[in-house]
């Protein structure tokens, strides 16, 4: 056989192989890129749906929290009004009797002001404010517990 024919055939096969490789590689890259783009689009769509669902859940929880907070504000307003009325009613009571510093009563009969009916104004006001503070704290704790339970019982 003619060496030029063989060389030409080898060159033709090499050029055809290289051309096929380049074309196949480019087509393969395009196919992989198309698959990648489809997957990215699918993931972006799923992410957008998940974000919308999370936003809706957040808004529901916030609405519940706002409702509970309003109820708590109403309770605290009632507590404050009741405390103010009680303190106003205590202003008619006598002041605490003056006792020397360090004086201690030695008899049971000298223990005046030990019952609610005999309570003097200063101690009565202190106790009324103290009870109002405790009621406000209890209301805040109840609100916190209800908010926690609402979030905990929300389906995921």
For 119, counting Cβ atoms within 10 Å of its Cβ (0-12 exposed, 13-18 middle, 19+ buried), the class is buried
Within 10 A of 86 (CB to CB), how many other CB atoms are there?
A: 16
Average pLDDT over residues 61-89: 93
Residue 105 in any domain: the answer is no
Query: pLDDT band for position 136 (50/70/90)?
Result: very high
Q: Are 57 and 154 in contact (CB under 8 A)?
A: yes
Total domains present in the chain? 1
The answer to whether residue 121 sits within a structural domain is: yes
- Over residues 92-105, the mean pLDDT reads 67
Parent domain of 72: 3-92+114-152
Whole-angstrom distance, CA of residue 118 vs CA of residue 115: 5
Q: How far apart are CA 80 and CA 85, in angstroms?
A: 9
Least confident among 50-54, 81-85, 87-91, 93-97: 93-97
Residue 108: HSE in the Cβ half-sphere, 13 Å Cα cutoff:
0
Question: Is-contact 29 21, C-beta < 8 A?
Answer: no
The pLDDT of residue 14 is 83
Mean pLDDT, residues 12-38 = 78
Assigned domain for 100 exists: no
- Kindly state whether residue 106 falls inside one of the protein's structural domains: no
Residue 98 resides in a domain: no
For the chain, list the strands marked E by DSSP: none
Q: Is residue 139 part of a domain?
A: yes
Higher pLDDT, 117 or 76: 76
* Domain-located, residue 58: yes
Any idea which of 6-10, 91-95, 109-113, 134-138 has the lowest mean pLDDT? Answer: 109-113
Assess if residue 88 is contained within a domain: yes
């Amino acid at each position: 056989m003619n060496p030029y024919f063989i060389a030409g055939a080898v060159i033709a096969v090499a050029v055809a192989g290289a051309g096929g490789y380049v074309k196949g590689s480019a087509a393969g890259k395009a196919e992989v890129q198309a698959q990648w783009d489809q997957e990215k689009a699918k993931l972006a769509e799923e992410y957008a749906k998940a974000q919308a669902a999370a936003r809706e859940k957040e808004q529901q929880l916030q609405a519940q929290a706002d409702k509970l907070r309003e109820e708590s504000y109403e309770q605290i307003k009632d507590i404050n009004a009741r405390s103010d009325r009680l303190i106003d009613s205590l202003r008619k009571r006598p002041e605490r009797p003056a006792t020397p510093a360090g004086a201690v009563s030695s008899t049971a009969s000298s223990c005046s002001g030990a019952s609610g009916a005999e309570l003097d104004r200063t101690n009565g006001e202190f106790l009324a404010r103290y009870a109002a503070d405790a009621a406000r704290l209890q209301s805040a704790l109840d609100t916190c517990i209800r908010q926690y339970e609402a979030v905990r019982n929300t389906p995921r």
